[in-house]
A and B are shown apart, each in its own frame.
Chain A
Amino acid sequence: DAGVIQSPRHEVTEMGQEVTLRCKPISGHDYLFWYRQTMMRGLELLIYFNNNVPIDDSGMPEDRFSAKMPNASFSTLKIQPSEPRDSAVYFCASSFMGWDSYNEQFFGPGTRLTVL
């Protein structure tokens, strides 16, 4: 398996523009997580899905952020409108509820977002 795939790897945009980040989880995984990492706040969980259903979105900073998972192999994180404070590395991770992988999440390479 290729692991978790994220696109784009880098995104530079201007304030006010819409940004869409994409994630393809590992095949067979039933959990998908979106994280954001900044120097100031570290690594934060934004939202996670189980079997394509959002379970907890309490980490989503505000209404400008939305996430969808239309099927088991694809998820998007959208920011509209984007602001400079949204600049961060966004990670997608997936996992499978197995007896020996209780807390093991597999992270993608991340998308580095810069909002000017």
Chain B
Amino acid sequence: LAKTTQPISMDSYEGQEVNITCSHNNIATNDYITWYQQFPSQGPRFIIQGYKTKVTNEVASLFIPADRKSSTLSLPRVSLSDTAVYYCLVNTGFQKLVFGTGTRLLVSP
């Protein structure tokens, strides 16, 4: 399983764009990149997944360079409610989603 490295914490203000970068140097050919969000006292929630290039949904964008050794989760115009822990995962299929320590994002007024 590919190991991921992401910042422990990030701070932002309401209305700003937040970019969280995750490195996964040993990503395998069949691995997908997935991001989850977890609020306090709740289970993680799927945000977005991708394999290469760019993926966008109503919540976020995911940028993956050609070598796929890193990825960036982009949250446009964050609000206070985006304060959460964000996990970057790389894996093949449903087997063994390995959650690292995640990035604690704090959004201030």
Contact = CB atoms under 8 A, between A and B. Distances in A.
Interface of A: 4, 31, 33, 42-45, 48, 55-56, 59, 91, 93, 95, 97, 102-110
B98 A45 contact: yes
Contacts of B98: 45
A102 B98 CA distance: 15
7 contacts: A33-B97, A45-B97, A56-B95, A93-B43, A97-B94, A103-B89, A103-B97
Contacts of A102: 32, 49, 93-94
A66 to B, nearest CB: 19
Contacts of B45: 107
B98 to A, nearest CB: 7
Contacts of B41: 110
A55 B94 CA distance: 11
A107 B43 contact: yes
Interface residues of B, number: 22
Main secondary structure of the interface of B (DSSP, over half): loop
Given A43-B44, A93-B43, A103 B100 contact: no
Nearest to A4: B43
Contact of A95 (B49, B94, B100): B94
List 8 tightest A-B contacts by C-beta distance, closest first. Answer: A107-B43, A43-B99, A103-B34, A104-B46, A91-B43, A103-B49, A107-B44, A31-B94
